[in-house]
Amino acid sequence: MQIQKQVVLANYTWWKVGGVADHFCLPETTTDIEEALLWADKEHVPITVIGGGSNILVSDDGVEGLVICLKNFSQVESVEKKDRLSVTAYAGTLKAEVLKPFLQEKLAPALFLCGLPGDMAGGVVMNAGVSEKIIPREFVEIVDWFEVIRLKDGKPSTQRYQNKDIQWTYRHTDGWQPGVISRVQVSWPNTPDVDIPQKVKMATRNRVMKQPLNMPSCGSVFKNPAGYSSGALIEKAGLKGYTVGGAQVSEKHANFIVNIGGAKASEVIQVIRHVQAVVKSQFDVDLQTEVKLLGRW
Ligand SMILES: Cc1cc2nc3c(=O)[nH]c(=O)nc-3n(C[C@H](O)[C@H](O)[C@H](O)COP(=O)(O)OP(=O)(O)OC[C@H]3O[C@@H](n4cnc5c(N)ncnc54)[C@H](O)[C@@H]3O)c2cc1C
């Protein structure tokens, strides 16, 4: 596997912003991932893992060390149909791919996964979920286990984590770090709902109506504080349309910051800080970012 130098990361993020990775690789196999970890260890450089890049803000000053991007480590390995439908996939498999067998069997995870960007490992790391009150609505409800590769005593080792081994909280998981998530198994009881295909169509239509999907973004920038909707607070504060350079609070959905053209990460972060300050001063509520900041800040 080739380890490239000075790769522009903006091309690997949904926001289309961010500087260069000192070193960068695109593993396609488990052996490639292990090779990447061994290389970083030998060179004494830190590693940063990215998946679909739909929830990250990469600094304009780039990322130190080796960025391991798993987008090419993508394959549904197996689909097993018994009393549950189980799907096992490589970490970089798009959620949209894992959705397909559930949709074919008219099972509820198809509705949950539709419209969720990024890959399976990103879904696990973020405990990705939807605001609609559907079941399932968060990754914790569908994951059986996932595997993590890391170096142990200088050698690659893979550890499997069962769902119950992990602390799953709102848009966050703990108890598996550090390492590279490599495989994920999800499952759901094999009890079809004939309306699932229609519900998936409606949910997809709803997203197109409510979200600025025609512009680069990272989805909801802020977590919803207990008892509040971040989008509603930002809109109430009159911040829709607030712009710094190429970064703008979406006119369509106030919890989205869109790249209206040529945005820099420094402009996105200025919008984030301004929104936090105004919401704090008007409503005394602290908005915390859902989006992960990567690189030299
Ligand atoms: C238009 C739009 C709509 C969205 N709607 C939703 C929504 O409804 N609900 C929701 O929850 N999210 C939503 N998101 C955010 C995002 O899609 C999810 O958080 C998604 O699960 C992130 O997956 P990813 O593969 O893109 O992860 P990335 O953005 O690449 O990474 C996210 C984090 O995971 C880490 N990571 C990624 N892969 C690995 C790995 N293999 N091993 C270890 N660490 C890893 C990264 O270092 C980073 O910290 C939306 C985003 C967009 C752009």
Tell me, what's the pLDDT at 72? 98
Contacts of 202 (CB under 8 A, 6+ apart): none
Contact indicator for 171, 128 with CB cutoff of 8 Å: yes
Please tell me the distance from the alpha carbon of residue 244 to that of residue 267, in angstroms, as a whole number. Answer: 6
Residue 78 phi/psi, 5-degree rounding, is -155, 150
Tell me, what's the pLDDT at 16? 98
Active site residue 171: yes
CA of 153 to the centre of ligand 1 (A): 30
Tell me, what's the pLDDT at 165? 96
Rg (CA), the chain: 19
For the chain, give the number of residues. Answer: 297
Round the average pLDDT of the chain to a whole number and report it.
97
Residue 292 phi/psi, 5-degree rounding, is -95, 130
Arithmetic mean of pLDDT, 272-286: 98
Tell me, what's the pLDDT at 158? 98
The 10s digit of each residue's pLDDT in 75-91 is 999 999 999 999 999 99
Tell me, what's the pLDDT at 107? 98
Q: Is 90 exceeded by the pLDDT of residue 131?
A: no
Please tell me the distance from the alpha carbon of residue 217 to that of residue 173, in angstroms, as a whole number. Answer: 23
Arithmetic mean of pLDDT, 144-161: 98
- Ligand 1 close to Cβ of residue 295 (< 6 A): no
| Domains of the chain: residue spans and CATH | 4-69 (3.30.43.10), 76-197 (3.30.465.10), 212-294 (3.90.78.10)
- Ligand 1 close to Cβ of residue 68 (< 6 A): no
The 10s digit of each residue's pLDDT in 233-243 is 999 999 999 99
Please tell me the distance from the alpha carbon of residue 230 to that of residue 224, in angstroms, as a whole number. Answer: 5
Active-site position among 105, 171, 182, 187? 171
- Ligand 1 close to Cβ of residue 258 (< 6 A): no
Residue 51 token pair: 């998946």
Q: Is 90 exceeded by the pLDDT of residue 161?
A: yes
- Ligand 1 close to Cβ of residue 128 (< 6 A): yes
The 10s digit of each residue's pLDDT in 46-73 is 999 999 999 999 999 999 999 999 999 9
Please tell me the distance from the alpha carbon of residue 49 to that of residue 70, in angstroms, as a whole number. Answer: 8
Contact indicator for 163, 143 with CB cutoff of 8 Å: yes
Tell me, what's the pLDDT at 132? 86
Q: Is 90 exceeded by the pLDDT of residue 115?
A: no
Q: What is the pTM of this model?
A: 0.97
Determine which residue's CA is closest to atom 21 belonging to ligand 1.
123
CA of 91 to the centre of ligand 1 (A): 12
